[in-house]
């Protein structure tokens, strides 16, 4: 990835909150999303800057964006149907970069557009964040080797990783219709469960509800049916990243997953953070990708010089939990774990290339989940299944409560940020969801 003036760590914004050292959204980030104003029926496209949202429709209407940026946004909002970023996504990386350049120039300290754009800002705390685009298809991968190994040991102590894991990116098709934006509560699912001593399954609320800490990758420009995407072009099809919580009902999953894999244990709800962080914002945090020398190296179609030199991303990931009692007592979320996406066994480019390697056509707005991102150390599990060792070791909380799996009223919050010497911190915002009681079974 190349750097330009938008990455300058000394660049300041005339929006005060964007200059705070701990903000997720400095002017070097400029993530994209869709928001709704109070009392409005439809959403509008926006960009996060500090603690504010810049209304992109209003900015374009005021003539504060470059002609190239205005063209990039064409079709992203309509007075009758609302907003979606799909048209921008479909236009590819050149349009996205033109928009970033224009926004960086307009929001920089001393910019002539300040007087016009000041009226296009809204406090993030006063708007409702919506899904950023129409999600056509959703595929969840299994790239976290530490998660795969830990879970495998729980179910197959003598054969934790299946033979194909180190050769092929494992994934399954999820359900796009049940993806929701951060802040929306989800009901505990009902489903068939069968304990080890049960004579027959029963239909009941899940008692082993879990979260999974993941990243989500949105596809930009797609490919035609039958035309694979080569590694050299894979990242041209990447629009940006969000946090993703792949809520999981472990007891339903254990009964249903053989022989075809996850189904109702996964598709009752998936939460994503509302702001899409672009590849340009993440450029300073690229890292080399490599495999242990004793492991199989990627097959040629999943390999490239660029992927080896900068295919990995240094993104610190965290899970925070707040119980209903903590909330009632005014106590904030507490951190349960921390890991890093650079430990992923496969890169984003490899996921995109493999998904299309059989000619499968990807489309703008499709979403790829990374799989649970656990770390190599004890206590770095990206799910309660790992942290509680399959429910056998309750996790103590500071207020005296404990958890093996989620209870009704629990709020799970995912957080992520990139930090490196000489660069501004780039955050993802938060992905939060609260567990509601199951409907009557």
Active-site residue numbers? Answer: 147
CB 436 within 8 A of CB 184: no
User: What does DSSP assign to residue 228?
Assistant: -
Of the CA atoms within 13 Å of residue 439, those in its CB half-sphere come to 5
Q: Which residues of 57-80 are buried (b: 16+ CB within 10 A; e: fewer)?
A: bbbbeeebbbeebbebbeebbeee
Q: Could you give the count of Cα atoms lying within 13 Å of 328 in the half-sphere of its Cβ? A: 6
Do 277 and 240 contact (CB within 8 A), yes or no? yes
Burial (CB count <10 Å: 0-12, 13-18, 19+), residue 129: buried
Q: Which helix (H) or strand (E) covers residue 148, if one does? A: helix 145-155
3-state SS class at 272: strand
CA distances (Å), origin 201, targets 235, 391, 422:
45, 20, 57
Given a contact cutoff of 8 angstroms between Cβ atoms, the answer to whether 114 and 14 are in contact is: yes
Reference 236, options 58, 80, 97; nearest CA is 97
Q: Is the CB of residue 237 less than 8 Å from the CB of residue 223?
A: yes
**Beta strand residue intervals within 168-235, DSSP E:** 171-173, 179-181, 186-187, 190-193, 202-205, 209-210, 213-219
Cβ-contact 262, 172 below 8 angstroms: yes
The DSSP code sequence of 42-73 is S-EEEEEETTEEEEHHHHHHTT-S-HHHHHHT
Among 277, 353, 356, which Cα is nearest to 313's? 277
Rg of the Cα atoms in the chain:
22
Longest dimension (CA), the chain: 73
């Amino acid at each position: 990835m190349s750097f330009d003036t938008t990455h300058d760590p000394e660049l300041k914004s005339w929006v005060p909150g964007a200059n705070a050292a701990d903000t997720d959204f400095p002017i070097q980030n400029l993530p994209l999303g869709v928001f709704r104003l109070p009392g409005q029926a439809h959403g509008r496209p926006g960009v996060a800057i500090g603690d504010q949202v810049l209304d992109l429709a209003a900015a374009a209407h005021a003539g504060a964006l470059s002609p190239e940026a205005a063209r990039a946004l064409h079709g992203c909002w309509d007075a009758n149907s609302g907003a979606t970023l799909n048209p921008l996504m479909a236009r590819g990386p050149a349009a996205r970069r033109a928009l970033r350049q224009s926004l960086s120039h307009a929001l920089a300290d001393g910019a002539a557009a300040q007087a016009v754009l000041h009226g296009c800002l809204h406090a993030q705390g006063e708007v409702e964040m919506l899904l950023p685009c129409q999600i056509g298809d959703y595929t969840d991968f299994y790239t976290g080797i530490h998660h795969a190994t830990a879970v495998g040991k729980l179910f197959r102590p003598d054969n934790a990783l299946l033979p194909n894991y180190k050769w092929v990116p494992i994934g399954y098709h999820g359900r796009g219709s049940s993806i929701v934006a951060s802040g929306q509560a989800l009901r505990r699912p009902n489903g068939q469960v069968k304990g080890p001593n049960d004579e027959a399954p029963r239909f009941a609320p899940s008692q082993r509800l879990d979260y999974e800490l993941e990243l989500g990758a949105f596809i930009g420009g797609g490919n035609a049916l039958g035309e694979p995407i080569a590694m050299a072009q894979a990242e041209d099809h990447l629009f940006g990243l969000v946090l993703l919580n792949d809520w999981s009902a472990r007891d339903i999953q254990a009964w249903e997953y053989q022989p075809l894999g996850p189904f109702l244990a996964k598709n009752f709800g998936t939460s994503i953070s509302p702001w899409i962080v672009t590849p340009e914002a993440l450029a300073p945090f690229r890292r080399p990708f490599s495999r242990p020398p004793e492991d199989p190296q990627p097959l040629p179609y999943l390999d490239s010089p660029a992927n080896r030199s900068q295919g990995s991303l240094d993104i610190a990931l965290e899970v925070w939990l707040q119980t209903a009692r903590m909330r009632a007592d005014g106590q904030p979320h507490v951190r349960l774990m921390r890991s890093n996406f650079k430990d992923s066994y496969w890169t984003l480019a490899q996921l995109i290339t493999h998904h299309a390697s059989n000619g499968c056509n990807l489309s703008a707005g499709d979403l790829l989940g990374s799989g649970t991102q656990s770390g190599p150390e004890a206590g770095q599990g990206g799910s309660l299944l790992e942290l509680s060792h399959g429910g056998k070791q309750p996790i103590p909380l500071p207020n005296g409560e404990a958890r093996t799996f989620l209870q009704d009223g629990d709020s799970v919050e995912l957080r992520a940020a990139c930090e490196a010497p000489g660069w501004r911190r780039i955050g993802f915002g938060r992905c939060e969801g609260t567990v509601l009681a199951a409907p009557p079974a």
